[in-house]
Amino acid sequence: MTAVRTGEELRSLAESAGRDLEEASALDILTWAADTFGPRFCVTSSMEDAVVAHLASRAFPGVDVVFLDTGYHFPETIGTRDAVGAVMDVNLITLTPRRSVAEQDAEHGPRLHDRDPDLCCALRKVKPLEEGLTAYDAWATGLRRDESPTRAGTPVVGWDEKRQKVKVSPIARWTQADVDAYVAEHGVLTNPLLMDGYASVGCAPCTRRVLEGEDARAGRWAGRAKTECGLHG
Ligand code: SF4
């Protein structure tokens, strides 16, 4: 039976765990989350790779893995999601926006992502995730400090003020080399686009390959000031 906790209790838990687990391994951080929150804990995955889902399935077999299907994903991303659901010991949950792309086009005009990406992300990412996370007290992400300057201060366990939930980033301290080593050691599924010049995989209209010397997220909303979709801001 998982304890029912108030927002204040959750915040306090997040703050103390963030300090206590800063040096812990990713698996130990996820084991703490599974033991503390049980079925009120989930992992979110963009299906760029399945590293955190794989780690979480070791700590908590059958863990809920939440994927946000914006309707704009590359086919390779949908294929990675389907493969994860087929071969890993996880409960795959796909969230979708209230409106299809065609319905959004009819309401806001086509290619909203070009004209107002913040609104497009709000409708297709932020809102569906907010609604999908209501069943949980804690969620895990694959954020890493080395991905971009905006992610450099990511705690391994922190407080998600916007959603009033505990946010767990078990591989926050990992480097790309750590990810590559884990993928190789465990044969973890990765998005085929990572082998095709993409370093970070998001929606197709807003993602390009990265150039030599660019940081991993430089291919997201390239040419715009936007660097995050609002899920982690
Ligand atoms: Fe829309 Fe682009 Fe955001 Fe995807 S990443 S929801 S296509 S603006």
Identify the pLDDT of residue 126.
94
Ligand 1 atom, smallest distance to 117 CA: 8
Task: Say yes or no to pLDDT of 20 above 90.
Answer: yes
Q: Which of 21, 33, 50, 229 is catalytic?
A: 229
The amino acid that residue 42 corresponds to is C
Tens digit of pLDDT for each residue in 179-190? 999 999 999 999
218 band by pLDDT with thresholds 50, 70 and 90: confident
Identify the pLDDT of residue 56.
98
Q: What whole-number distance in Å separates Cα of residue 212 and Cα of residue 44?
A: 29
219 band by pLDDT with thresholds 50, 70 and 90: confident
Identify the pLDDT of residue 167.
97
Task: Say yes or no to pLDDT of 227 above 90.
Answer: no
Identify the pLDDT of residue 121.
95
Question: Mean pLDDT over all residues of the chain?
Answer: 93
Q: Taking the alpha carbons of 136, 138, 142, 143 in that order, is the dihedral positive or negative? A: positive
Task: Say yes or no to pLDDT of 161 above 90.
Answer: yes
Query: Pick the residue with more confidence: 233 or 13?
Result: 13
Q: Which residue ranges make up each domain of the chain?
A: 7-194
Task: Provide DSSP, the chain.
Answer: -PPP--HHHHHHHHHHHHHHTTTS-HHHHHHHHHHHHGGGEEEE--SSB-HHHHHHHHHSTTEEEEEE--S---HHHHHHHHHHHHHSSEEEEEE--SS-HHHHHHHH-S-HHHH-HHHHHIIIIIHHHHHHGGG-SEEE----TTS-GGGTT--SEEEETTTTEEEE-TTTT--HHHHHHHHHHHT--B-GGGGGT-SS---GGGB-PPPTT--TTTTBSTTSS----SS--
1 band by pLDDT with thresholds 50, 70 and 90: low
Binding-site residues for [4Fe-4S] cluster: 120-121, 203, 206
Identify whether the C-beta of residue 156 lies closer than 8 Å to the C-beta of residue 142. Answer: no
Q: How far is the CA of 232 from the centre of ligand 1 (A)?
A: 14
Identify the pLDDT of residue 226.
65
Identify the pLDDT of residue 233.
65
Identify the pLDDT of residue 154.
96
Q: What whole-number distance in Å separates Cα of residue 222 and Cα of residue 148?
A: 14
73 band by pLDDT with thresholds 50, 70 and 90: very high
Task: Say yes or no to pLDDT of 224 above 90.
Answer: no
Q: How far is the CA of 129 from the centre of ligand 1 (A)?
A: 14
| HSE value, Cβ hemisphere, 13 Å, CA-based, for 111 | 4
Cβ(201) to ligand 1 under 6 A? no
Cβ(55) to ligand 1 under 6 A? no
CATH number, span 7-194: 3.40.50.620
Cβ(120) to ligand 1 under 6 A? yes
